[in-house]
Amino acid sequence: LEMRSLNAIVDLCGDTMEISELEAELFEGSMSGGLVLRQVQGSQPCISGNLDITDVSYEGLKVSACVRMDEDGAVWALSNVRFPLTEGSGSVEAEYEGRVRVPGVVIGAGCETPTPSPDGYMLEVNGVLRLIDVDAGQYRISDMELDVNAGYDGREVKATIAGEHASMETIGRALGHAIEAEGWIDWKADLKARGLSVNAVVTIADGELKSELWPQKFSELRGSIEIAQAALEPGGQAQIHVSSVRATMGRGAIEVSGGGPKWSVHGSELEIEHPLMRGFADVDATIRTGDRMGIEGTLRIYNARVDAATTAFSRAASIPDADLDLKVIVGSGVKAFREESWAQVMPSVVHIQGSVRQPRAEGYVEVGPGEVCLYGVPLEILSGRVDFSGNDGSGLAFSIVARDASAEFPIMANVYGKPGDVHLSFAPELGLEADVAPGDLLMKLLDARLRLYILSRIGRLVDALPETIRH
């Protein structure tokens, strides 16, 4: 640092030197204040006092700072630092408030005999770091406040940094890419930095997240994330490995682990509130990332209400396309609804492959009690089955046995076929003739035959309709 002028009053008394009314004019910046240096036998000098630094520059580094020491030994410092990362690649502006210590030289009034750092640090800091503006290529941080406890040994920085209620938007800018979620986390990072390369272990203590892909929030986040060789320069890529991150969703819990191209997801008793389904699910899946996403594993649903109407998909959030290899297990307590019709879905298994945009299913679904409404005529579903065995809708076949109980003399209906090729047949319910009183038998048979004729004509009309209309 080149100095224009230096003015001060120096008072020497034994092992103590007092510097007062210090005024130093540099070619770039200035310093002022007063210091007391006391030599403690067998150790480095102890320094106390105050020092103000204004816009001091050195090789691109620009510093403004003030350090104050009270009579009882309390110390605080406030500094503003601006410097370029590398030529033309970005810059950093930050403020620091807290304690600064160089082992062997303690800044503090009434200091005791200084104790060197057991870790051999040349510099130690403990305070609050405010990142005002960081511009490092794709990485951008602004207005982030961090608790810092760090040491520097001349080669490497070891630090513990913590942030409270850090937003996903801020974290996304710091990582160099947007995070498709809203919310916040409380976190702590234990890191080692050498040059522009950083290795860190991030511990998440709490947080809440909500994504556009899922209407419910994830709360009580806990976990650990390892970040290796995160180069803080343009083009630098971090290697991220998630040891385990857990969160609650409703009364259940979900856990994510993995890194790079492969991630694992495990969830149990996940309470789902989605336009397509409301109920509970367990999941055990592997997600592959890269040029093309892939999902494989097992999904079990139970105690759920499933919306089978195609309009439900338009109300659901957009789901990215991905290759699928899923086994869907239908447990107990599942009901499917479509407009005015509904049916209980019996325990069954369906294997889904293909992709989100073009899925193909293998397996079957059995349905139990329910109700289907055909052209305003309510039919009670007794049993049924839907078989999946193709690459598109042509591989789906169904057969449902229902009963028209709207009159005293019920009629059985069998609805079967494939999408675009639906068949209906009707007949009186077996065994009912024996339960009809002799005097009423003729009228009840006429009534049943009339209704049977009307329903059969409806069935023929449906068969005669073009496939697009029937479907």
Of residues 339, 340, 402, the one with CA closest to residue 368: 402
Question: From CA 423, how far away is CA 233, in angstroms rounded?
Answer: 67
pTM: 0.68
Please tell me the predicted confidence (pLDDT) of residue 444.
46
What is the average pLDDT across 204-229?
86
CA distances 94 to 43, 97, 145, 264, 376, Å, are: 33, 10, 10, 38, 71
- Helix spans in 135-291 (H): 168-175
Which of the four pLDDT bands, split at 50, 70 and 90, describes residue 113? very low
Question: From CA 453, how far away is CA 438, in angstroms rounded?
Answer: 23
In the Cβ-directed half-sphere of 144, how many Cα atoms lie within 13 Å?
A: 25
CA angle, residues 49, 55, 59, in degrees to nearest 5: 110
Are 103 and 117 within 8 A, CB to CB? yes
Please tell me the predicted confidence (pLDDT) of residue 455.
61
Question: From CA 21, how far away is CA 422, in angstroms rounded?
Answer: 99
What is the average pLDDT across 148-160?
87
Q: Write out pLDDT tens, residues 137-149.
A: 667 788 888 899 9
Asked if the model's pLDDT at residue 440 lies above 50, the reply is no
Which of the four pLDDT bands, split at 50, 70 and 90, describes residue 376? low
Question: From CA 92, how far away is CA 140, in angstroms rounded?
Answer: 10
Which of the four pLDDT bands, split at 50, 70 and 90, describes residue 73? very low
Element housing 470 (H / E): helix 467-470
How confident is the prediction for the chain on average, in pLDDT?
77
> Which among 60-64, 428-432, 464-468 has the top mean pLDDT?
60-64
What is the average pLDDT across 399-404?
84
What is the residue-wise DSSP string for 336-394?
Answer: EEETTEEEEEPSEEEEEEEESSSEEEEEEEEEEEEEEEETTEEEEEEEEEEEEEESSGG
Residue 313 CB: number of other CB atoms within 10 A? 11
Question: From CA 251, how far away is CA 303, in angstroms rounded?
Answer: 14
Q: Write out pLDDT tens, residues 11-56.
A: 988 888 888 988 988 878 888 988 887 776 655 567 778 888 888 8
Asked if the model's pLDDT at residue 254 lies above 60, the reply is yes
- Helix spans in 197-278 (H): none
Residue at token pair 């406030």: 78
Identify the residue with better confidence: 38 or 297.
297
- Helix spans in 232-391 (H): 311-315
Tokens of 444: 């009840």
Asked if the model's pLDDT at residue 314 lies above 50, the reply is no
Element housing 457 (H / E): helix 441-464
What is the average pLDDT across 193-203?
84
11-25, 367-381, 397-411: which has the minimum mean pLDDT? 397-411
What is the average pLDDT across 224-249?
77
What is the average pLDDT across 224-244?
73
Tokens of 224: 């650990």
122-126, 186-190, 343-347, 429-433: which has the minimum mean pLDDT? 429-433
Question: From CA 388, how far away is CA 386, in angstroms rounded?
Answer: 7
Please tell me the predicted confidence (pLDDT) of residue 456.
61
> Which among 29-33, 93-97, 177-181, 332-336 has the top mean pLDDT?
332-336
Share of the chain above pLDDT 90, in %: 19
Asked if the model's pLDDT at residue 273 lies above 50, the reply is yes
Report the length, in residues, of the chain. 471
- Helix spans in 119-205 (H): 168-175
Please tell me the predicted confidence (pLDDT) of residue 469.
46
What is the average pLDDT across 127-139?
81
Please tell me the predicted confidence (pLDDT) of residue 464.
56
4-8, 59-63, 398-402, 405-409: which has the minimum mean pLDDT? 405-409
Identify the residue with better confidence: 77 or 204.
204
